[in-house]
């Protein structure tokens, strides 16, 4: 059994959704752990990817057997980010158990290559999808076409006891 989950989501996450995701992500992770998942792939982007990676790192403090795996478009992806975001990203990168790069330098296709890699190395996709266009929509759709179970956390934000 493939014991990997991949995350995909928007870079922009409204403040109200951030608060709800802060409650929902740990619950979702614990349910995934209960189902035998131990590896969690994140794409390293700002927004949802960062929230997911931080949640995995927090859960890893309780469950050291978990692995945070980063699939990144290229080594310099954070070059133009604000300093605060770069520092947080570098902290996440330093604590990752595995890092894979789609390309040595940024090329237009490196984001899609990263997304496909995560999907192809997972059996479950947890997404934060609120818009039906863009990279997140593409990745969730690709995951479905590849036979992955896809759970849209955006649809569960207001649930009391969501089941993943």
Question: What angle (nearest 5°) sits at the alpha carbon of residue 122, between those of residues 111 and 102?
Answer: 25
Which pLDDT score is estimated for 14?
97
Is residue 114 assigned to a domain?
yes
Residue 52, pLDDT score: 98
The reply to whether 161 falls in a domain is: no
Range of the domain at 18: 4-156
Cβ burial, residue 49 (10 Å; 0-12/13-18/19+): buried
Alpha-carbon span 68 to 129, nearest angstrom: 21
pLDDT in the model for residue 161: 87
Q: In 3D, which of 93, 109, 83 has the Cα closest to residue 45?
A: 93
* Average pLDDT of the chain to the nearest whole number: 96
How big is the CA angle at 114 (ends 77 and 17), to the nearest 5 degrees?
75
* CATH number for position 17: 3.40.50.450
Confidence label for 92 from pLDDT (cuts 50, 70 and 90) = very high
Structure tokens belonging to residue 93: 């990168």
Q: Please write the tens of the pLDDT for every residue from 95-113.
A: 999 999 999 999 999 999 9
Instruction: Tell whether 111 is covered by a domain.
Output: yes
Chain centroid offset of residue 58 CA: 14
Q: How many CB atoms lie within 10 A of CB 68?
A: 23
pLDDT, average across residues 54-78: 97
pLDDT per position as a tens digit, 143-155: 999 999 999 999 9
Number of domains in the chain: 1
Q: Among residues 92, 110, 109, which one has the least CA distance to residue 52?
A: 92
**What is the C-alpha to C-alpha distance for residues 140 and 78, in angstroms, rounded to an integer?**
24
In a domain, 162, yes or no: no
Structure tokens at 86: 């770069």
Residue 164, pLDDT score: 87
């Amino acid at each position: 059994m493939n014991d990997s989950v991949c995350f995909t989501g928007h870079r922009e996450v409204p403040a109200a959704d951030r608060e709800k995701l802060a409650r929902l992500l740990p619950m979702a992770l614990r349910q995934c752990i209960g189902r035998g998942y131990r590896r969690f792939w994140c794409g390293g982007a700002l927004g949802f990817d960062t929230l997911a990676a931080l949640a995995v790192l927090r859960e890893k403090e309780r469950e050291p057997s978990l692995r945070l795996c980063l699939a990144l478009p290229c080594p310099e992806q954070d070059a133009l980010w604000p300093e605060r975001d770069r520092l947080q990203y570098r902290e996440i990168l330093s604590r990752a158990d595995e890092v894979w790069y789609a390309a040595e330098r940024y090329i237009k296709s490196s984001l899609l290559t990263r997304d496909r890699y995560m999907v192809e190395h997972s059996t479950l996709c947890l997404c934060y999808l609120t818009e039906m266009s863009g990279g997140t929509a593409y990745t969730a759709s690709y995951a479905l076409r590849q036979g992955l179970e896809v759970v849209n956390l955006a649809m569960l934000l207001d649930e009391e006891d969501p089941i993943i």
